[in-house]
Amino acid sequence: MFFLSSIKIQRMANSTYLSLLFTISMISISHALSPTPSPKSNPKLYEIVCEGVAMFGEEERCLKLLEPNSQITSAKDFFTLSKVYLEMSIEKATKGQDYLKSLMNKYASSQALEMCATKYYGDLIAGFQRAIRELPKEPDGASWEIHAVGDDPHLCDLQLAQENIVHDPSITALNSDMSFLCLIAGEAIDHI
């Protein structure tokens, strides 16, 4: 009886050994057949930010915006990148506000244009400025500031459409650019 038991154990041991060998072989074969990812260099911080907006189809636009700025492309941490980016955004929003103010003479009867130039763009610039102040001590607060003013360019578009006096595609493009600045700012700050 002992002899039969040891044969069964030996068969079971051989069976288990063969099963284990088969499993390891299958894993090795599947690993050998799977495509090996090509080694990619570590992305720069600004590229990581732009990858974050890829779901909106805006990665290329983001790269085109950020790559010309050497302070952004060489940033060593997300705090520095965000601060430089917010400074750039203030500059762009101020130029946008100046452009809208220059159109106020041409469209003197448009209260919506005045509202865009003064309130919405004023709030946008102030939001970027508050975000810079909040950044060192409270990045979440800085992000909130951006999200709070992020709809202002869209509200400008809505006001202009409702009033139906100013039909200038350059304003729509400007508002789109300002909304995009907010999107990228939020994405950059969220990485801190």
As a whole-number percent, the residues of the chain with pLDDT over 70 amount to 79
- pLDDT digit string, tens, across residues 7-40: 454 555 555 554 544 445 545 555 445 454 444 5
DSSP secondary structure, 16-78, as one string: HHHHHHHHHHHHHHHHHHSPPPPP-PPPPHHHHHHHHTGGGT-HHHHHHHHTT-HHHHT-SSH
- Amino acid at residue number 52: G
Please give the Cα distance from 132 to 145 (Å, whole number). 9
Write down the pTM of the prediction.
Answer: 0.77
137 falls in which pLDDT band (50, 70, 90)? very high
